[in-house]
Structure 1
């Protein structure tokens, strides 16, 4: 069987993508896909030209795990994609915000298929689409929960439902260990201070309350700002604020080195000095919630680290794959992941580059060399399919469903699966002197 052709990374023609970006899904997949098709028609494109859609619940019980007032809870149309009644017409990559069914996202903490052709990036992740690297951070920032572990387990109380989607320092610190260039960054809420790099006078004129937050340095996410300054991707996309806004962020030539957290200093491998930021609205009439974007690869360097990602499928599309560096970081930090208990972690973090390299070598030998970088098409339904004729009780929360995709990922990396059922599964010991905070 002959191998698929490789893309040649020539200096004059960097690979490019055509993607669709959407701000906040709000359970309106049908409307979003129709908007993508209409936008393609207006540009002279077809849906087949789109590499993927980037978006900045399964059944009725999941609604009780959403941080939305009961009178505003709506099942939307995702259940049709989960059940197999419908299939996403294009590869769709999703991060979490603050109005989704958090119980399902928790099952896929490390990332996984929410439905066929719809991939959730997990709490934090770096993925490969061919040679392109996509970094994502789910949730929104809340300072009171930032240094706490992911302690929420079903059944959720009122506080759990509001805290489960809050960004945690553990996930941010993993992204801050990235030392190689990233093409696309995605977060739900805006990176803090990004508003000052665009037409902020117009923004504040349309959203006067934004100015009150901005002048107090509270508009947007502090961790997302930290990641934007560290990763320096070519593009950064966000939602949450329900307004379209663009900005061009010019980065300083070097990031300041923090004595308490040296891993946040700029990596020599990250040289990009400009990030194009775009925030988009939620679906609805007259709202700017979708944009088609053409993206060039930020680096045209071809080496062993990119070679294994360059095969194309018969439809001339790249595959969605795990990222070697991210796998090494996840394996290195796995024992420091705490699921049970709500006590805040001690602050500070020890950077151990040698241990990351050791884990990268393990990934190369046990995953890359065995051809296991491509994300398998291993979606399985674990929760019951929504049945509109079922008149049962819908004021209860669902049970916890251990997800086979999470089990596969943990087995692939040789790390404990702390998201399976059981009171003792969430305990983990810190290793290699790592203290997150």
Structure 2
């Protein structure tokens, strides 16, 4: 029996407007003749302010601070009429969401997915990742911890590689993917001309690969969900992304859904050999950086190459595989935008290729980090003052080099500037195996050139070069992930120009074995994700700015560990009926009061969350978030009040560094269970 369709309301940014969101969902449902929806999915910027002091941890200029109406749901004054789930964005009460790193209820019937997650809701399997992309923070640990200094406030919501690494271990099909910012360069598969007319600055960012989240792109390429929802850029946009070198064809559009979704996989399903993207090859460049050939460069015989709009489309997408920023930028300009071609009405699409495809381990780590901020006309007042990466492009090279030396240890070992006067950088993992231990000056990072070996021996251990990485080959795409088309949708925020709510009836493509498809649906843990969480639990590092995340060991190493932990989950949780997400919401912080001053908030203490403790106890993993009252007070007292973040007007006050191992290795004293004992690591 086919699984029933689920009525989903997807929403763009929340921005503290729950009442308006729920009223709009009810209105749209009534217009469609529905008695409601099964689930509401919000794409971030939820702004879950429990009280005025949470605003001290909200990355928003003080003049834009507002309580919103979430606090009414937190206090119990209101109850969400529909089950609501959301991912985190870049305008959040970061202290609140930090408490629920693994996910949890922030009010009755409102569930935060955590930093990364895969959950089940009835027949649907939903993945989510929180935060936004900033390449210079990607390989750092979750070092930010209450009390936040200004620099912490503006990095705590940046996506981290360890969380993405966990999502990339998924080997079975999901139905819905969720991220706050868009997967990188997804715009090429929609009506990008209309998008660029709405958002004037997006065309320039798209040409230079700065539009979107590279980590989200890699996760989408891996998970290939049927739907992917995003927000962040405050504009309505839809696209359809094909996977696996498939042929597509136009079909009759369905009412109420974007016209660009009116495609399906054609038969035969595979691209002809002449049209397939060329394999990645090594070519010489100024810095011997690995790049991939474009589609057109791969065709030695011009008579065999596709022509016209089809050629433009294929060649433009082929350029996205490049790691050389100059080549990629110029070719995308020439092939896609200078000609100003419309999205072609063709039956041929190419697969979504991420940078690591077909490359060695060292080359896989060579990622193009597009760090210049994408300008969003609807939120420039929010981000222009609080985004630590948003600088004028005329910033002197002296300032740039000074800034580069302040990055995390991965960047200190690997960072290489690709252009002068811009923020486009490429993390170079190293040369090929023969020269890995002795790179040339052109292959060395700025930091390596500036810091001599003699000087490096006098620096802290964090400045040491990472050990050579073991070469490993990427594994084939999992056979169980066989969806070929992802329908992408981004929506606006409430009270803006475009639609911020869309109702969809979604049929699952995930495996329905042992799934309860009878209503009422409820949130359930995902067996595979719980196993992955157990495997990576010890790799989580909190509160230590000088720490490094453990090296990525690769799928060949992780897969048997995950399979072993799946057996543990089956025996200890599935067979014991413990897979339902418990209704265990409890208030961890004080409720809002009329006397709270949101314009002059006080940095709050860190509050332990019982849901996180119970989740860690369920999985029998260390609860690295727990600190007892004495430990929390010591942490709080270690930073003078004048150096704490207190809104963007205080961003440049107090630049002292906190202790290198603040909060490390502490243990709580709650009970004897492993899940509620250990403090930060």
Cα distance between partner residues in 1 of 2:598 and 2:96 = 21
* C-alpha contact (below 8 Å) 2:55/2:598 kept by paired residues: no
2:664 is the counterpart of 1:424: yes
- After superposition, residues 116-135 of structure 1 pair within 5 angstroms as 116-135=108-127
Give the corresponding residue for 2:428: none
User: What do residues 191-226 of structure 1 show as CA deviations (whole Å, max 9, x unaligned)?
Assistant: 001000000111112112001110001100000000
Post-superposition offset of 1:410: 0.4
Give the corresponding residue for 2:606: 400
Q: 2:564 aligns with which of 358, 361, 364?
A: 358
Query: CA, structure 1 residues 162+294, in 2 after alignment: closer, same or farther (shift >3 Å)?
Result: same
Q: 1:376 aligns with which of 559, 568, 582?
A: 582
User: What do residues 22-61 of structure 1 show as CA deviations (whole Å, max 9, x unaligned)?
Assistant: 00000000010011011112111122xx110000011100
SS at match of 1:208: coil
Cα distance between partner residues in 1 of 2:575 and 2:550 = 38
Cα distance between partner residues in 2 of 1:224 and 1:298 = 20
SS at match of 2:201: helix
Give the corresponding residue for 2:20: 31
Gaps of 5+ in 2: 44-48, 246-350, 365-472, 632-662, 668-681
Gaps of 5+ in 1: 1-9, 428-437
Post-superposition offset of 1:350: 2.9
Give the corresponding residue for 1:414: 620
Give the corresponding residue for 2:539: 336
Post-superposition offset of 1:325: 0.2
Q: 2:147 aligns with which of 155, 164, 167?
A: 155
Give the corresponding residue for 1:432: none
Post-superposition offset of 1:420: 1.0
* C-alpha contact (below 8 Å) 1:87/1:116 kept by paired residues: yes
Cα distance between partner residues in 1 of 2:11 and 2:543 = 34
Give the corresponding residue for 2:100: 108
Query: CA, structure 1 residues 82+302, in 2 after alignment: closer, same or farther (shift >3 Å)?
Result: closer
Cα distance between partner residues in 2 of 1:231 and 1:287 = 29
Cα distance between partner residues in 2 of 1:96 and 1:263 = 30
Query: CA, structure 1 residues 274+390, in 2 after alignment: closer, same or farther (shift >3 Å)?
Result: closer
* C-alpha contact (below 8 Å) 1:129/1:320 kept by paired residues: yes
Cα distance between partner residues in 2 of 1:392 and 1:78 = 14
Structure possessing the higher radius of gyration over alpha carbons? 2
- After superposition, residues 266-277 of structure 1 pair within 5 angstroms as 266-277=477-488
Query: CA, structure 1 residues 392+121, in 2 after alignment: closer, same or farther (shift >3 Å)?
Result: closer
SS at match of 1:151: coil
2:267 is the counterpart of 1:278: no
- After superposition, residues 24-423 of structure 1 pair within 5 angstroms as 24-47=13-36, 50-56=37-43, 57-253=49-245, 256-260=357-361, 265-284=476-495, 286-299=497-510, 301-303=511-513, 307=514, 309-310=515-516, 312=518, 316-343=519-546, 344-345=548-549, 348-351=552-555, 352=557, 353-389=559-595, 394-421=600-627, 422=631, 423=663
Cα distance between partner residues in 1 of 2:552 and 2:599 = 46
SS at match of 2:148: coil
Quick check: 119-128 or 14-23, which moved more?
Answer: 14-23
Computed over aligned residues only, the root mean square deviation of the Cα atoms, in angstroms, reads 1.9
User: What do residues 348-399 of structure 1 show as CA deviations (whole Å, max 9, x unaligned)?
Assistant: 4333211110000000011111100000000001111111145799431111
* C-alpha contact (below 8 Å) 1:230/1:265 kept by paired residues: no
Q: 1:22 aligns with which of 11, 34, 52?
A: 11
* C-alpha contact (below 8 Å) 1:112/1:406 kept by paired residues: yes
Query: CA, structure 1 residues 425+403, in 2 after alignment: closer, same or farther (shift >3 Å)?
Result: farther
Cα distance between partner residues in 2 of 1:111 and 1:243 = 27
Post-superposition offset of 1:409: 0.5
Cα distance between partner residues in 2 of 1:146 and 1:264 = 23
* C-alpha contact (below 8 Å) 2:243/2:485 kept by paired residues: yes
SS at match of 2:210: coil
Query: CA, structure 1 residues 356+389, in 2 after alignment: closer, same or farther (shift >3 Å)?
Result: same
SS at match of 1:202: helix
User: What do residues 414-437 of structure 1 show as CA deviations (whole Å, max 9, x unaligned)?
Assistant: 10001111423579xxxxxxxxxx
Cα distance between partner residues in 2 of 1:392 and 1:133 = 38
Cα distance between partner residues in 2 of 1:63 and 1:31 = 21
User: What do residues 71-119 of structure 1 show as CA deviations (whole Å, max 9, x unaligned)?
Assistant: 1111100000000000100000011001110000000000000100000
* C-alpha contact (below 8 Å) 1:124/1:172 kept by paired residues: yes
